[in-house]
């Protein structure tokens, strides 16, 4: 019985790390294929960008250039480009509309009181 415990634990680890995420990605791709509509901009799994012009069962017609229509399998749609990106909590960049004005400084314009601007660094040659 004790010899089976590591094998059972290994099965659960493989399931949690590999199988479960793959099932989730497959469900998301199925939902993507079902949600594609005429007029949307998509990218195929081969990296070709275009706009959906017709849906016919498992075949999707994509206009990749004005007057150039390509037919691909619905499963070849890799991503919808026209869908709204999900907002991140913080993407690492500050929003320029959120910049607040600095409060006025309480320091006088001439901190030394001698009427001259502060001297910058001096270089000695």
pLDDT in tens, 101-111: 666 666 556 66
State the CATH number of the domain containing residue 55: 2.30.30
Domain assignment of residue 90, yes or no: no
Query: Where in the sequence is the domain holding 43, given as residue range(s)?
Result: 38-82
**Number of C-beta neighbours around residue 39 at 10 A:** 8
pLDDT score of 110 = 63
Number of domains in the chain: 1
Q: Does the predicted model carry a pTM greater than 0.75?
A: no
pLDDT in tens, 54-75: 999 899 999 999 999 999 999 8
Domain assignment of residue 68, yes or no: yes
CA 80 to chain centre: 12
pLDDT in tens, 4-49: 888 888 888 888 888 888 888 888 888 888 888 899 999 999 999 9
39 vs 97 pLDDT, higher one: 39
Domain assignment of residue 52, yes or no: yes
């Amino acid at each position: 019985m004790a010899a089976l415990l590591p094998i059972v634990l290994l099965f659960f680890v493989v399931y949690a790390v590999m199988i479960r995420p793959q099932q989730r990605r497959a469900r998301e791709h199925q939902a993507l294929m079902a949600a594609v509509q005429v007029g949307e901009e998509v990218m195929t799994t081969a990296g070709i960008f275009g706009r959906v012009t017709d849906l016919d069962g498992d075949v999707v017609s994509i206009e990749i250039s004005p007057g150039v229509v390509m037919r691909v399998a619905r499963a070849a749609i890799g991503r919808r480009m026209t869908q709204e990106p999900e907002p991140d909590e913080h993407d690492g960049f500050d929003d320029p509309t959120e910049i607040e004005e600095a409060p006025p400084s309480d320091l006088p314009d001439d901190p030394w009181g001698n009427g001259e601007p502060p001297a910058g660094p001096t270089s000695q040659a």
